[in-house]
C-alpha cells in the first residue's frame, strides 16, 4: 500500500482542514487526504434500522498537524472537505469502538473515522 500511496494522493488526494477546539479556541492545520466510506446498520428501534455512512479520511501520520503540533486524531476533531464547492464538516467519531486506527502495518497512515457534522 505504501508504494501506491504517493500516486494515489496525487491523483485522488484532497486538501482538508483539520480543526480541534481547546478551551473554546479553534486550532487548525491542513493535510492531503484520500477518502473512503464505511457503511453500517444502526438499529433505531426493534423494528427499524438505518444505514449510516461514515467518511474515512486516510491521512499520513506525519501530516496530522494541528497548530504546528504533530498529533493523533481525537474524538470531536473536525475535518473540513470541500465537495462541489461547498465546505462540509465531518466530526471524528468512534466506529466499532475506535476513533481512528493505522491503515498500514508500518503505522504511517491514519484511517480517521468521521460522521458529517450537520445542524438540522
Residue 78: per-residue pLDDT: 95
If you average pLDDT over residues 28-35, what whole number do you get? 95
Question: Alpha-carbon distance 46 to 100, whole Å?
Answer: 29
- Give the pLDDT of residue 112: 93
CA–CA dist 115, 94 (Å, integer): 9
Q: Which domain holds residue 44?
A: 2-116
Q: Please state, for a pLDDT cut of 90, what percent of the chain lies above it.
A: 50
Check residue 120 and give its pLDDT. 42
Q: What is the pLDDT of residue 38?
A: 73
Q: What is the CATH number of the domain that holds 99?
A: 2.40.10
DSSP 41-105: EEEEETTEEEEEEEEEEEEEGGG-EETTEE----TT-EEEEEETTEEEEEEE--BTTBSEEESST
Mention every residue, 6+ apart, whose C-beta is less than 8 A from residue 112.
56, 57, 58, 59, 73, 77, 79, 92, 99, 100
Count structural domains, the chain: 1
Cell of 4: 501506491
Q: Decide if pLDDT at 34 tops 70.
A: yes
Interval 38-89: pLDDT, tens: 777 777 777 877 766 678 999 999 999 999 999 999 999 999 999 899 998 9
Amino acid at each position: 500500500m505504501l508504494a501506491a500511496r504517493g500516486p494515489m494522493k496525487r491523483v485522488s488526494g484532497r486538501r482538508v482542514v483539520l480543526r480541534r477546539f481547546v478551551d473554546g479556541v479553534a486550532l487548525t492545520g491542513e493535510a492531503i487526504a484520500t477518502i473512503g466510506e464505511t457503511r453500517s446498520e444502526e438499529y433505531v428501534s426493534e423494528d427499524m434500522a438505518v444505514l449510516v455512512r461514515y467518511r474515512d479520511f486516510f491521512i499520513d501520520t506525519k501530516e496530522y498537524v494541528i497548530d504546528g503540533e504533530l498529533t493523533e486524531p481525537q474524538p470531536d476533531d473536525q475535518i473540513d472537505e470541500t465537495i462541489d464547492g461547498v465546505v462540509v464538516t465531518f466530526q471524528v467519531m468512534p466506529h466499532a469502538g475506535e476513533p481512528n486506527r493505522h491503515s498500514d502495518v508500518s503505522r504511517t497512515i491514519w484511517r480517521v473515522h468521521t460522521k458529517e457534522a450537520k445542524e438540522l
